């Protein structure tokens, strides 16, 4: 309308805007909309590697990396790409919630798995054991025993293993327990460039290596020992871990022990 008045009656933009009650700032405004291709790509990359992260945490990660996009923009892209974890899906399509394809394992420390196992002392006091396994060699890298294990305790275990083996994995498979989605553990993973691969809720088969290990751990250690104290539990569990790694033959390794598998691979003979 303003342009029509200017063209037909040869009036100034100021008078034309005044006639139609339009602010001159609106008339002179030029859209500066920029492409969101780059940030859209990065959002999808984060969602693919951190499959249980919602828009809030993705926005925080983008901020860490220096992206200036506000939360509304990130949320819009997040929804347009169908990444919303809370959207309801038909039962037949629940697998769509699992965003990342698991690659074949062909190297040590390519992927680790962690989980908790619960048991009790002779007097009924409960305790938990955090177990950590290298999925390729099946080696149990460490355990931590305690009545209360929090996210910071998971970080301390990871730091101990990192210092001992002088390596961190590319990826860690975990469930959605509060210890594994804590800010402390997330910060550690971010600083060490480790991808956290979360299982789908109610799908323990998403993390089969630690499930298999914990089954053997319970059957061969927890169910066959009488623990008098936490210190006694630590000692007996560590003894069993050493036996598991160095003595117990593993069916998926053609009868080798996990330690033999590690040594064979380190010598340059990874073929089973």
What is the pLDDT, as a whole number, of residue 100?
52
The pTM of the full predicted model, rounded to 2 decimals, is 0.64
What is the pLDDT, as a whole number, of residue 102?
61
Terminal CA-to-CA distance of the chain, rounded, Å? Answer: 78
Distance CA 162, CA 152 (A): 15
What is the pLDDT, as a whole number, of residue 26?
77
What is the pLDDT, as a whole number, of residue 99?
47
**Which parts of the chain register pLDDT below 70?**
27, 29-34, 50-53, 85-103, 269-272
What is the pLDDT, as a whole number, of residue 50?
66
What is the pLDDT, as a whole number, of residue 113?
95
What is the pLDDT, as a whole number, of residue 218?
92
């Amino acid at each position: 309308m303003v342009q029509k008045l200017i063209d037909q009656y040869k009036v100034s933009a100021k008078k034309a805007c005044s006639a139609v009650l339009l602010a001159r700032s609106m008339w002179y405004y030029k859209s500066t909309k920029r492409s969101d291709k780059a940030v859209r790509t990065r959002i999808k990359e984060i969602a693919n590697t951190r499959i249980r992260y919602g828009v809030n945490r993705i926005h925080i990660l983008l901020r860490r990396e220096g992206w200036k996009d506000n939360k509304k923009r990130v949320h819009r892209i997040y929804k347009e790409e169908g990444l919303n974890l809370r959207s309801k899906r038909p039962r037949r399509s629940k697998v769509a919630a699992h965003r990342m394809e698991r690659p074949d394992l062909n190297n040590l420390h390519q992927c680790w798995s962690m989980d908790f196992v619960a048991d009790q002392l002779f007097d009924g006091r409960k305790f938990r054991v955090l177990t950590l396994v290298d999925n390729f060699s099946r080696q149990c890298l460490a355990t931590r025993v305690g009545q209360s294990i929090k996210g910071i305790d998971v970080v301390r275990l990871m730091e101990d293993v990192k210092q001992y083996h002088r390596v961190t994995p590319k990826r860690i498979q975990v469930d959605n327990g509060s210890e594994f989605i804590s800010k402390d553990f997330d910060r550690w993973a971010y600083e060490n460039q480790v991808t956290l691969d979360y299982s789908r809720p109610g799908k323990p088969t998403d993390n089969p290596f630690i499930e298999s290990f914990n089954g053997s751990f319970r059957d061969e250690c927890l169910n066959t020992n009488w623990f008098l104290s936490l210190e006694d539990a630590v000692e007996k569990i560590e003894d069993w871990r050493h036996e598991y790694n160095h003595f117990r033959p593993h069916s998926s390794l053609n009868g080798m022990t996990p330690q033999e598998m590690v040594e064979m691979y380190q010598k340059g003979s990874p073929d089973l």
